[in-house]
Amino acid sequence: MNAYKTESEVFVFHDETGKAGDEKLKGHILLFVPVKLRIILSNTLWGDKIIELNPLEKLYIEINKLRKRFNVNHKFHFKEISGRKWNKANEAEKQLIIIGVDALRYKGTKIFRNPLCCKIAIIFFPNPNLDSLIFYGGKEKDEKKLRFNETVLRMLLKGAVHYLYTKDHKVKILKILSDGQPYHRKLSEERVLWRLIEEQLVGDLREYVDISPNVEIIHLDSNHRKYGVGSNEYIYANMLQLADMFLGSVIQSCLKGIKWQNISPQIRDKVEDKKV
């Protein structure tokens, strides 16, 4: 049996919500889409074999084919699905999720010839109260809330790359693209990214995680119709819509009608066996 090693250079597509479930939780989703994927097969008859892919391009091609098949050009947005009727736009949205799920598969793909090795990470959390905000700088309440939000986003990003990747699947983060700009300012690259780079420099990130020194956060409107067809912005907007659909699907399936209890998590050593 051939041994696999994988290397992903990824764009991270970010979306968030402030009204998840009955508790109106806040939430972040990160959709990791490789722009360069190297699959290294060892012990083949002719030595190592390297497969190189651009999963972002292949995922966009399938989404574009989907739009043409159903003749839809609307912005895919989960909250626009009423559930009271079902039309071709809703069927297209369903098929988009099916495409997205196949892009997450590491093996056994049905749509894509080779695994795209995309990944998602989602976190939900309650709105911070005034007492918890005293630990965050800024004169105004909105600034304190945003700094809290950025801290949670950094925690999600770090936890995701540590858990979703391994020494046999290395990852390099090239940029983060965030849906719109819902706050009074842009997300802080210093608070979200540069602190992780500092951890990387002192060895506090795992050896299979790399963050590009040119990494940046780009705020982009997710309405693809604002951009030229096939442009980078057009492609990125479609990925942000896929992230939105994933986030909405998880909220609908996991949070609707769920009663939450305040239970402190048990603190343990870092997870090594990721099957547990």
Residue 160 belongs to what H/E stretch?
helix 141-164
The pLDDT of residue 272 is 58
The pLDDT of residue 81 is 73
Angle at Cα 270 formed by Cα 34 and Cα 7, nearest 5°? 20
Helices 88-104 and 55-70 cross at an angle (nearest 10°) of 160
* 100 neighbors 238 (Cβ within 8 angstroms): no
The pLDDT of residue 23 is 81
- The one-letter amino acid code at 69 reads R
The pLDDT of residue 229 is 96
* Tens digit of each residue's pLDDT, the chain (276 residues): 455 899 999 999 999 998 887 788 999 999 999 999 999 888 766 778 888 999 999 999 999 999 999 999 999 988 767 667 778 889 999 999 999 999 999 889 999 999 999 999 999 988 877 667 776 666 677 788 888 889 999 999 999 999 999 999 999 999 999 998 878 889 999 999 999 999 999 999 999 999 999 999 999 999 999 999 999 999 999 999 999 999 999 988 887 765 656 666 565 555 555 554
Closest CA to 255 of 19, 12, 11, 48: 19
- In this structure, what are the phi and psi dihedrals at residue 118, rounded to the nearest 5 degrees? -75, 160
Answer left, alpha or beta for residue 138, where phi above 0 means left and psi between -120 and 50 means alpha.
Answer: left
Question: 204-253 pLDDT, tens per residue?
Answer: 999 999 999 999 999 999 999 999 999 999 999 999 999 999 999 998 88
Residue 39, Cβ neighbours under 10 Å: how many?
18
The pLDDT of residue 260 is 57
The pLDDT of residue 276 is 42
* 122 neighbors 28 (Cβ within 8 angstroms): yes
CA distances from residue 113 to 46, 54, 148 in whole angstroms, order as listed: 22, 13, 41
CA distances from residue 261 to 27, 132, 152, 258 in whole angstroms, order as listed: 17, 19, 20, 10
Torsion of CA 230, 233, 236, 241, to 10 degrees: -100
**Residue 231 gets which letter from DSSP?**
S
The pLDDT of residue 57 is 98
pTM of the model: 0.89
DSSP assignment of 86-143: --HHHHHHHHHHHHHHHHH-SS--SSSSS----EEEEEEEPPPPHHHHTTS--SSHHH
Domain boundary assignment for the chain = 3-254
Angle at Cα 51 formed by Cα 49 and Cα 53, nearest 5°? 170
Two tokens, residue 255: 């949070």
